Amino acid sequence: MSDDAFTPRPEHRFTFGLWTVGNRGRDPFGHEVRPPLDPVESVRRLADLGAYGVNFHDSDLVPDGASPSEREAIVKRFRRALDETGMKVPMATTNLFSNPVFKDGAFTANDPAVRRYALAKTMDAIDLGVELGATVYVCWGGREGVECDAAKDVRAALDRYAEAVNALCGYVRDRGYDVRLALEPKPNEPRGDIFLPTVGHMLAFIERLERPEMVGVNPEFAHETMSGLSFHHAVAQCLWAGKLFHIDLNAQRAGKFDQDFRFGSEGVRDAFYTVKLLEDAAWDGMRHFDAHAYRTEDADGVWDFARGCMRTYLVLADKARRFASDAEIQEALRAARADGLHQPTVPAGGLDSIRREQFDLDALGAQGYGNERLDQLVTELLLGVR
């Protein structure tokens, strides 16, 4: 696994959350299997593996309830590790889900005091992220949902959600921070239903905010796939709307619990089209992995996991390049009339000219699009036999 072409380097802009390599393997039915991992150790190991940077929840770095001096010491030591390794912190986020205080929600908790605490904790976390250089702030509303639908008026919940995001945008602006917010949707787990369950619902929500230009989406492979939806279609809509502010790459099987598997280990076709989309669009954001090692793994397995995420991305990016230069694939695209989708539909003569047009429906209905051949060519490209 040492082929140079697939060796990660900082210019590939791969990032990991401290919580990803630091995941200790706890699950709903089992205890932790791995010892705690020092954030500084994570920085050093990821730097060695060729990553660009790390991201964190406030509580991943500074334990809740730490004193100002403890916080300072932790940040100083962490910053030193960043400086020594050249690693960056492009994104930060807040843990608004672990503490029992959030059991009924954070920004949409029924109790206003909980909502105020969630805002206070988030402002602190934004400060911490900015201090370490983050320019993207991710909000995952994991507890913003409900099991007993009677307990929440959904429209009121959306009002409160919008109020919170508006307030945070105002905070960022007032402080003069160079930070954009990226909201992360998820359909369910840990709540029975989470509000704004898909990339689409989140994109729509953003349009009703006071400063929509400051807010985008952080789509996650696993979350969109849990609902059986195409992840790369969702990412494409984000790009189309100018709203891809961050991305969470991992793997997931549809209709299952949130798996957060190693990127590319499931759903490799959707992974390929996602990589192809990001590379074709020359998207300038981070390739962030929000995943963790299987619970079967010891500490070494964690680094195998991290290495695998990045290698698979590079392998798929290479295949995206081959797709573009493969003459047979390009010919099949022409047979599928793929270029026709880039032409405007309405001719110079306008709608009137369309109404006068005579359509040969039999001929149009009879033509084939050669999609079986095209899809097989992509399959063989993916399987490495062309």
**CB distance 20 to 289 below 8 Å:** yes
* Paired sense of beta strands 91-93 and 145-146, if any: unpaired
Which of 37, 40, 75, 236 forms a contact with its own copies (CB under 8 A)?
236
> Shortest approach of its own copies to residue 265 CB, angstroms?
6
Specify the residue for token string 């793997």: 251
Which of 48, 73, 131, 204 forms a contact with its own copies (CB under 8 A)?
204
Question: In what side-by-side order are the strands of the sheet with 180-184?
Answer: 215-217, 180-184, 136-140, 91-93, 53-57, 14-17, 287-289, 248-249
Interacting span for its own copies (CB under 8 A) from 8-16, 38-46, 69-77, 307-315: 307-315
Q: Which residues 40-59 are close enough to bind its own copies by CB under 8 A?
A: none
> Shortest approach of its own copies to residue 125 CB, angstroms?
12
Whole-angstrom CA distances from 248 to 183, 241, 307 are 11, 18, 16
Instruction: Give the tokens for residue 12.
Output: 């590939």
> Shortest approach of its own copies to residue 10 CB, angstroms?
21
Phi then psi dihedrals of residue 73, to 5 deg: -65, -45
Interacting span for its own copies (CB under 8 A) from 7-15, 76-84, 176-184, 260-268: 260-268
Which of 70, 86, 213, 228 forms a contact with its own copies (CB under 8 A)?
228
Q: Which residues 127-186 are close enough to bind its own copies by CB under 8 A?
A: 142-143, 147-160, 163-164, 167, 170-171
27 near its own copies, rule: CB under 8 A: yes
Instruction: Give the tokens for residue 246.
Output: 């961050």
| Catalytic residue annotation | 57, 60
Decide whether 25 or 90 has the Cβ nearer to its own copies. Answer: 25
x/- mask, its own copies, residues 323-342, rule CB under 8 A, reads: x----xx--xx--xxxxxxx
Question: Using only C-alpha atoms, what is the Rg of the chain?
Answer: 23
Interacting span for its own copies (CB under 8 A) from 38-46, 50-58, 176-184, 202-210: 202-210
Report H helices in the chain: 18-21, 39-49, 58-61, 68-85, 112-131, 154-175, 199-206, 221-226, 231-240, 268-280, 299-325, 327-335, 350-356, 361-366, 371-382
Interacting span for its own copies (CB under 8 A) from 51-59, 67-75, 85-93, 116-124: 116-124
